[in-house]
């Protein structure tokens, strides 16, 4: 079909303009290839001729003189072999570059020869197109090289599990149309046949490939109408004998019937416009036209506002449209909507209990919390996990240095408090565990079967499934994985992942795809892009603040995610404080020149290491028993605009980075960024689009305000730790230094509480009537959460803790009312549970727990500012140890109280009890009560059995009794405890040193356990 360039609507694709340097480089690369591939064999044939003997070798040849001619011929044979190897490398690299089907094959023993061939071939391709366009990537979604092969990456337009409803829509016959229905039907068909329009898929031009999205955007005014074109042409025989089966799999030369309102110079109307095309093309279009289903077969058309084809067929089921932004899921399924899992025949009716997200508007409207953090469940879970580890680390440091573990730390305030609450509401630790366990299990299964890890470009995570989007067909997936909608998708159900061992039991299963990072959501599916598999540079375009929000979100998630073992994240020109989230993972650089200097050295080092190890990519080296500690990815996120020269250098580095485990994501305002093979655009309203791919997501973002709030959460932990480890030796936290000691209990008789809860050991509540059986567990759990947060709990945080899979607002509000009624009122008439000025639910002082009493007793006894007598301090510490009846909420039911994993109290309790035991033992030793000191330490060891400080104090206390045999028995017991906790490592060094001082020769008297140590 002739192309009418004059009337063609501009294509929304930017072709990189080649510089003179590109052309010059490509020209010299072409000359080098000609010399090496053609010139070398020609020169050998002309100057040397046939190098091998003309007759069969005999023994007499061994006695002949070795002449210069022999040396020349031997040298010629070596050069011929080297030439053959290099020619094979050129063929392999050229085939892979032009086809775009993943990484090129590795020619045995090629090494630098294949690397040289790759560089020359890539440079030559600059004469016709940007080399990045030949790398496998999302830019090639619309191409299928062979009828029996899948594309290098499956369609982004069709999200995993999506099936387009092809049932004909049936109009209800109106009374007025009963009499003339036949005539109207006939006229509509005749008019449709006259107005039918067609489009022939065009061959690629450089980096630009035709796609249904682009065709719909040019000729229908909206790329999202590509589904109408797909419906009109689905399963119809094309001129080459194949069929359109997926919206993304179209080939040059195919014919597409277009809707009636299509417009533009590339279209042909039949039969009037046949003079615009050749006779052969006209015959093909005519034949294709006859294959169209008739109006009767598809259903009647009408003027009801639905999209129709040129023949009047309705393309979308007669259901309400879906408004993604409003979150409306009540309407029917449209072409672009991801259907429920019931669309999969083998899982019909499966109920996975979808997680219901809270309704939020703007930046926290409705519930007062930042929406962007609530809408990022994997990021939120990772940040909370990292924050919990940081708080525990600071707590242990404070406890071991100053004994300040029992004092309350500073609670976040302002934007940091809102950020923490939003993280608690939005976090999906179950999703992180599912993703991590599924990927590690896949790695272990493939390793066991001696199969390599396939390259994946993306993963789609839903509530019930995980889909991996492969770069190409990789055979049948190992059970329990299954093939998805085609062979380039592998899928696993959440229930099936239970067949894999727990992560702590699968020591040999490395994290195979640590570079996965969330981009956003489409309907109910979350897209994670594998940044280290990007064949070149991934570019994010848009306004500076918008693209920075995308980069910050990805950086924060990579720094804290739970599906990686080891990783390096380099942020350039932004996020200097992100290093506080993960100091061992994140590195900050100011500009691109500094980055280029670092990455040139690292890329060369990795390439050499891969070659020496005999691997063609990091995936080969990552699988297997040693994979956990090798080939960790390095992901680079750049926010500063590179110059043209810097962009070329980055493009050169990124050209082969995917096999090295290095990924580049660059935020740019340029029309075309050198080396960018994947391009995304972030809009002002938070949509992430790749129009040529038919991909549109609700972007995951981390705007500057929320970025700063997250960093503040970690900064406050650092400040708190510094304060508790101050030089005054008092271990006073930031809050106490500011005059705030947190919630304390009136220990006098007048302070007797109205409601008392025991949380240490078995959970008991006194002063309240037991609620009815069905509602009792939730009410008791809610009270426990409130008792651990005397500063108050946001209602949405409370709901997220009790119903981690989601709950509606009306159920939450009804539960809060029931909780207020159950807790009752004080004699003054004030409710014992009421919202504070910020809307958080806080308990009155008349509701107390043993945890509150324990902290108060510890504070009263250990605060050096209080002038208490030794007898008073001993009594307070003894009472504190008496309260520590066991672990926190020891009898909590299975599957409940999951929110405790984000709390510091479980780590704080054993340290606080240890502090009390140490202080009481020291007091009693000083007063000559050696047996009492031993009893104090033994009571503390019940709650903190692994605390080395208690072990050492126990040795000192037993030594104070003067009983050598008892000390020897204690040493033997500590050796047994250490073997149970640490295996064959024996006692900690400081404990061994103390025993050497208190009991010389203890190893000979400590029994078998001592001898083993």
Task: Please indicate whether residue 617 or residue 819 has the higher confidence score (pLDDT).
Answer: 819
Q: How confident is the model at residue 40 (pLDDT cuts 50, 70, 90)?
A: confident
pLDDT tens digits, one per residue of 237-273:
888 777 787 665 677 788 888 888 888 767 776 544 4
Percent residues over pLDDT 70 in the chain: 71
Q: Is the pLDDT of residue 683 over 90?
A: yes
Predicted pLDDT of residue 846: 93
Helices 964-982 & 948-960 angle (0-180, nearest 10): 170
- DSSP secondary structure code for residue 674 in this structure: T
Q: Which residues contact 677 (CB under 8 A, 6 or more apart)?
A: 132, 133, 135, 137, 139, 534, 535, 536, 537, 538
Residue 461: predicted pLDDT: 94
The position carrying tokens 């033997």 is: 972
Cα-based torsion angle of the residue sequence 425, 429, 434, 439 in order, rounded to the nearest 10 degrees: 120
Q: How far is CA 252 from CA 145, 192, 257, 971, in A?
A: 10, 26, 15, 81
Residue 280's pLDDT is 64
Torsion over CA: 936, 939, 943, 945 (sign): positive
497 φ, ψ to 5°? -70, -15
CA distances from 271 to 283, 335, 357 (A): 11, 30, 53
Handedness of CA 639, 643, 648, 650 (dihedral sign): negative
Query: Do the beta carbons of residue 406 and residue 859 sit within 8 Å?
Result: yes
Burial of residue 303 (CB within 10 Å: 0-12, 13-18, 19+) is exposed
| pLDDT of 695 strictly over 70 | yes
| pTM to 2 decimal places | 0.64
Position 875 pLDDT exceeds 70: yes
295-313 pLDDT, tens digit per residue, is 444 433 333 333 333 333 3
The rounded distance, in Å, linking the Cα atoms of 981 and 975 is 10
Least confident of 269-278, 611-620, 823-832: 269-278
Secondary-structure breakdown of the chain: helix, strand, coil percentages, each rounded to the nearest 5 = 45, 10, 40
Structure confidence at residue 678 as a pLDDT band (50, 70, 90)? confident
Distance CA 584, CA 566 (A): 9
180-217 per-position pLDDT tens digit: 334 444 454 455 445 678 888 877 665 456 778 778 88
604 close to 581: Cβ distance less than 8 angstroms: no
Helix H or strand E encompassing 823? helix 809-823
**pLDDT value for 104:** 59
- Longest distance between any two alpha carbons in the chain, whole Å: 121
Question: Positive or negative, the Cα torsion across 856, 860, 864, 870?
Answer: negative
Q: Which residues pair with 373 in a beta bridge?
A: none
Grouping H, G, I as helix, E, B as strand and the rest as coil, residue 440 is helix
What tens digit of pLDDT does each residue of 948-983 get?
889 999 999 999 998 888 988 888 888 888 877 766
At 343 the pLDDT is 37
Q: Give me the DSSP letters along 156-200.
A: SSS-TT-----PPP-PPPPGGGTTTHHHHHHHHHHHHHHH-EEEE
Q: What is the pLDDT of residue 205?
A: 61
As a whole number of angstroms, the distance between CA 562 and CA 517 comes to 11
* Residue linked to tokens 């007499």: 60
How many Cα neighbours within 13 Å face the side chain of 700? 27
């Amino acid at each position: 079909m002739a192309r009418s360039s004059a009337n063609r609507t501009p294509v929304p694709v930017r072709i990189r303009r080649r510089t003179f340097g590109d052309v010059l480089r490509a020209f010299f690369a072409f000359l080098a290839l000609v010399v090496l591939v053609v010139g070398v064999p020609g020169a050998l044939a002309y100057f040397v001729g046939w190098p091998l003997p003309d007759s069969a070798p005999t023994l007499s040849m061994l006695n002949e003189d070795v002449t210069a001619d022999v040396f020349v011929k031997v040298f010629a044979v070596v050069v011929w072999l080297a030439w053959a190897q290099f020619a094979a490398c050129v063929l392999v690299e050229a085939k892979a570059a032009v086809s775009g089907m993943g990484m090129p094959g590795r020619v045995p023993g090629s090494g630098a020869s294949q690397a040289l061939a790759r560089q020359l071939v890539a440079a030559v391709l600059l004469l016709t197109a940007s080399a990045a366009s030949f790398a496998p990537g999302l830019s090639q979604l619309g191409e299928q090289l062979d009828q029996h092969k899948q594309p290098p990456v499956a369609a982004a337009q069709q999200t995993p599990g999506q099936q387009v409803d092809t049932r004909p829509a049936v109009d209800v016959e109106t009374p007025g149309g009963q009499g003339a229905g036949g005539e109207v039907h006939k006229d509509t068909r005749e008019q449709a046949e006259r107005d039918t329009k067609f489009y022939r898929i065009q061959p690629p031009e450089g980096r630009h490939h035709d796609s249904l999205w682009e065709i719909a955007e040019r000729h229908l005014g909206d790329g999202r109408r590509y589904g109408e074109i797909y419906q009109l042409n689905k399963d119809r025989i094309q001129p080459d004998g194949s069929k359109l089966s997926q919206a993304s799999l179209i080939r040059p030369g195919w014919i597409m019937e277009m809707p009636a309102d299509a417009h533009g110079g590339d279209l042909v109307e039949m039969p009037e416009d046949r003079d615009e095309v050749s006779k052969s093309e006209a015959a093909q279009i005519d034949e294709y036209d006859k294959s169209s289903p008739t109006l009767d077969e598809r259903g009647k058309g009408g003027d009801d506002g639905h999209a129709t084809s040129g023949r009047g067929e309705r393309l979308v089921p007669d259901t309400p449209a879906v408004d993604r932004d409003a979150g409306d899921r009540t309407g029917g399924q449209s072409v672009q909507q991801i259907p429920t899992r019931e669309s999969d025949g083998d899982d019909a009716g499966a109920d996975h209990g979808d997680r219901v997200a809270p309704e939020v508007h703007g930046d926290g409207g409705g519930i007062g919390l930042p929406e962007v953090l609530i809408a990022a469940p994997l990021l939120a879970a990772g940040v909370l996990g990292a924050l919990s580890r940081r708080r525990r680390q600071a707590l242990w440091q404070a406890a071991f240095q100053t004994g300040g573990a029992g004092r309350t730390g500073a609670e976040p305030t302002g934007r940091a408090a809102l950020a923490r609450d939003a993280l608690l509401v939005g976090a999906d630790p179950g999703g992180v565990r599912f993703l991590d366990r599924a990927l590690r299990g896949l790695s272990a299964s493939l390793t066991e079967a001696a199969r390599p890890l396939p390259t994946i470009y993306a993963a789609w995570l839903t509530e019930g499934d995980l889909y991996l989007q492969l770069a190409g067909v990789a055979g049948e997936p190992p059970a329990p994985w299954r093939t998805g909608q085609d062979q380039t998708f592998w899928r696993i159900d959440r229930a099936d992942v239970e067949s894999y061992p727990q992560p702590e039991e699968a020591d040999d299963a490395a994290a195979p795809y640590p570079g996965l990072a969330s981009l956003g959501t489409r309907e109910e599916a979350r897209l994670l892009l594998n940044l280290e598999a990007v064949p070149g540079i991934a570019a994010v375009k848009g306004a500076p603040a918008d693209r920075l929000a995308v980069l910050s979100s990805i950086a924060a998630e990579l720094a804290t995610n739970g599906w990686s073992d080891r990783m390096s994240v380099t942020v350039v020109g932004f996020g200097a404080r992100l290093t506080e989230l993960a100091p061992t993972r994140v590195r900050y650089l100011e500009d691109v020149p500094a980055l280029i200097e670092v990455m040139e050295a690292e890329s060369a080092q990795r390439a050499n290491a891969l070659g020496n190890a005999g691997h063609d990519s990091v995936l080969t080296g990552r699988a297997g028993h040693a994979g956990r500690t090798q080939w960790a990815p390095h992901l680079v996120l750049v926010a500063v605009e590179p110059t043209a020269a810097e962009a070329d250098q980055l493009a050169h580095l990124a050209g082969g980075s995917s096999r090295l485990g290095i990924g580049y994501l660059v935020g740019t305002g340029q029309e075309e960024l050198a080396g960018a093979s994947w391009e995304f655009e972030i809009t002002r309203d938070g949509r992430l689009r790749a129009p040529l791919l038919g991909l549109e997501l609700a972007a995951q973002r981390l705007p500057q305000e929320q970025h700063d709030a997250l960093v503040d959460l970690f900064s406050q932990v650092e400040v708190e730790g510094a304060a508790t480890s101050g030089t005054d030796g008092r271990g006073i936290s930031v809050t106490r230094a500011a005059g705030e000691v947190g919630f304390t209990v009136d220990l006098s008789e007048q302070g007797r509480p109205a409601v008392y809860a025991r949380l240490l050991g078995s959970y008991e509540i006194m002063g309240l009537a037991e609620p009815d059986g069905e509602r009792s567990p939730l009410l008791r759990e809610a009270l426990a959460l409130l008792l651990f947060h005397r500063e108050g709990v946001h209602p949405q945080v409370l709901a997220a803790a009790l119903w981690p899979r989601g709950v509606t607002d009306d159920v939450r509000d009804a539960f809060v009312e029931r909780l207020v009624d159950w807790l009752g009122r004080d004699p003054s008439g004030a409710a014992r549970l009421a919202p504070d000025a910020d809307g958080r639910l806080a308990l009155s002082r008349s509701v107390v727990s043993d945890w509150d009493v324990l902290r108060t007793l510890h504070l009263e006894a250990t605060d050096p500012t209080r002038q208490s007598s030794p007898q008073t301090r001993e009594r307070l510490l003894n009472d504190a140890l008496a309260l520590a009846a066991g672990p926190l909420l020891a009898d909590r039911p299975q599957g409940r109280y999951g929110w405790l994993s984000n709390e510091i109290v479980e780590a704080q309790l054993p340290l606080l009890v240890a502090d009390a035991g140490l202080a009481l033992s020291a007091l009693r030793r000083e007063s000559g009560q050696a047996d009492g000191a031993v009893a104090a330490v033994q009571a503390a060891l019940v709650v903190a059995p692994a605390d080395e400080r208690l072990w050492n104090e126990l040795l000192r206390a037993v030594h104070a009794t003067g009983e050598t045999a008892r000390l020897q028995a204690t040493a033997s017991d500590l050796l047994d405890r250490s073997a149970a906790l640490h295996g064959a490592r024996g006692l900690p060094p400081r404990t061994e040193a103390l025993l050497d001082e208190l009991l010389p020769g203890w190893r000979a008297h400590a029994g078998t356990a001592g001898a083993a140590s």
